[in-house]
Structure 1
Amino acid sequence: MYAVTGFRFPTTIVAQVIGGFMIPGRPIANMYFTMFGANTVTQSLALLYDLRIGQYLKVPPKAVFIGQCVGCVIGAIVHYAMNEVIISNQRVILLDNNGDTQWSGQNIQSFNTKALTWGALGAQLFSPGKTYEWVTYSFGLGLVFPLPFYFLHKFFPKIGFNMINTGIICWYLGNLTVGINSSIFVRIILGFTFQYFLRKYRSEWFNRYNYLLAAGLDSGTNLAVFFVTLLVGGAVMKKVTMPFWTLNPDPASGVFTDYCYKKV
């Protein structure tokens, strides 16, 4: 799936579910189970992604692997240092349920909440006959949803039913119900532009520059986030309050960042 579409299914919830039923009533154990079960898959996919980019750029696999090893060592040190500095400087905001426009501890809080939900209360909430039994049933339903399109493709192979990926569709349908999700529309536009229009009508440009552009944008974004966090985000130096404008509205005005909702 990831190799063909670039979409990576989050395996965290799967590890939490399995850990919750294997080690019931132990949320800390569920955290460790999730860490070793899901994070290993995530890191492996990240390493494979680097190897793929190296192949596109004609970089020897040995050189890419050495770079990955060096990056892991340096990254572990930098991440630990950044983690300590950020927690020390932004502790109050990180503990707040809502955070602010720049900092939020929602990922860690969510991880803790899920560990309690699945580790301590999984059997009581998600077992058959319990309140949220359909959450567990949905894993089985996910295996059934692709079957109609599979058989339709068998009978009508020219229509393109094999191009319908129910896993991605269901994931984004669920993702539309939480948080700020206007970025999904931007992804659709970018995907259509690069993977359809340029690939079909500007194939020479696509083959020559598309992956170089993707690698450059990824690297530039990561570097920008790193330096902005350090210099103006308040991680190390004094936090700089960004001016309010069209794409950065004042939260006090009741307007959300993506303009999809306004408090009355």
Structure 2
Amino acid sequence: MRAYKEVPSFWYLSILAVSILIGLICCYQQKTGLPWWAFLLAVLLAWILTIFFACMYGIVGFYYQPTSAVQMIGAYMVPRRPVANMMFTLYGSNALVQAIQMLGDLKLAQYAKLPPRATFLAQILGTCAGSVFNWVMMNSIVDNRRDILLSVQGTNIWSGQNVQTYNSQAVAWGGTANEIFGRHGTYWMVPMGLFFGIFAPMQFWIGHKYFPHLRLNYINTFLICTWLGWLSVGINSSLLAYFVFGFFSQGYLRRYKPALFAKWNNICAAAIAGGCSLIIFILTFAVAGGSGKARDFPQWWGNNMDGNVDRCKYLNGT
């Protein structure tokens, strides 16, 4: 890697300056109600959080998007403005995820011994192309699947759950945070969850200190609670692939085939992630009806077209 030229710092600073300028223009042009000082504080918050979450992601390969915490801060800074709260969360929370993903790409490129400047150029081109494709897909899907996206359950393919949740939280935190989550509000215990979460891992830390033979230090409450929360989000059978690949890669290859793991794990992970994104894009328009006409796959056990894809008895009406 020393044979390659490093990316100058002013390249990244230039991207930051242009991005902040575009963000400010969008906030005022779209009349979001988010003042310039709150926007800059959201960017600063994302920068501070990135330092800690990126370190954690580099060590354990896992991070969490602190959306609720950022929304609480936004509700305090810009009260009774749902759209402004949504924009504050976007720049304070989603920017964190984008930064961590960029750092992950840089780390993968270093492992693959790619030139840093070529990696930077690929990231910029990919971001520009991806933003255009995302914009086209979003408009096409919303126009052709609006009724399904607004429904409560959705279908085996389409669900507006994430967007509806994002919008509902913006209304709750940005519009009526004091009445709902305040000291005398109905759900005042929700923000207290951030405080109570500190005590979740302490019991295992204390137990491991006095009973080290129980190996309680292997219990990661952060991972467990995060994925338990995902059980309430849409279709859950897709999580099976996480466990299959995880046990095979980290449980078998890393332990019994370390040379094979070191050589191919990162490359295969990048290939799976890239292939997954590509096939989702193709299936969205060619099969799932993102462009207007759907072409369903044949009915079989793994593709329950007549009911819930997770085979949930409650949703199937049994």
TM-score by length of 2: 0.75
Residue matched to 2:57 = 2
The equivalent position to 1:22 in structure 2, one of 54, 73, 77, is 77
Say which of 306, 311, 314 aligns to 1:259: 311
Q: Deviations over 1:94-143 (max 9, x none)?
A: 33333333222222222111111111121111123422122111101112
- Cα root mean square deviation, aligned: 2.2
Give the corresponding residue for 2:231. Answer: 176
Alignment counterpart, residue 55 of structure 1, candidates 83, 98, 110? 110
Give the gaps of 5 or more residues in structure 2.
Answer: 1-55
Residue type of the alignment partner of 2:136 = A
Q: Determine whether 1:69 maps to 2:120.
A: no
Paired residues of 1:231 and 1:237 also in contact (CA < 8 A) = no
Aligned to 2:87: 32
Runs of 4 or more above 6 Å deviation: none
Write the letter of the residue equivalent to 1:256: N
Aligned residues: 261
Change (3 A) 1:86 1:183: closer
Tell me which residue corresponds to 1:80: 135
Question: Of the candidates 183, 193, 198, which is equivalent to residue 143 of structure 1?
Answer: 198
Match of 1:106 in 2: 161
Task: Compute the displacement of 1:181 (Å).
Answer: 2.4
Identity of aligned residues (%): 38
Report the residue type matching 1:116 in the other structure: V
Deviates more, 1:140-149 or 1:196-205: 140-149
Distance 1:94 1:125 in 2: 27
Q: Distance in 2 between matches of 1:162 and 1:134?
A: 29
Q: Which residue of 1 aligns with 2:264?
A: 209
Aligned to 2:15: none
**Counterpart for residue 98 of structure 2:** 43
Deviation at 1:243, TM superposition (A): 2.4
CA deviations over 1:219-245 (Å, ceiling 9, x no partner): 111111111112222223632123222
Letter in 2 for 1:76: S
Aligned to 2:179: 124
Q: Residues 145 and 43 from structure 1, CA distance in 2 versus in 1: closer, same or farther, beyond 3 angstroms?
A: same
User: Per-residue displacement from partner, 1:127-180 (whole Å, max 9, x unpaired)?
Assistant: 234221221111011122222333444455565433321111122233334543
**Structure 1: 5+ residue stretches without partners:** none
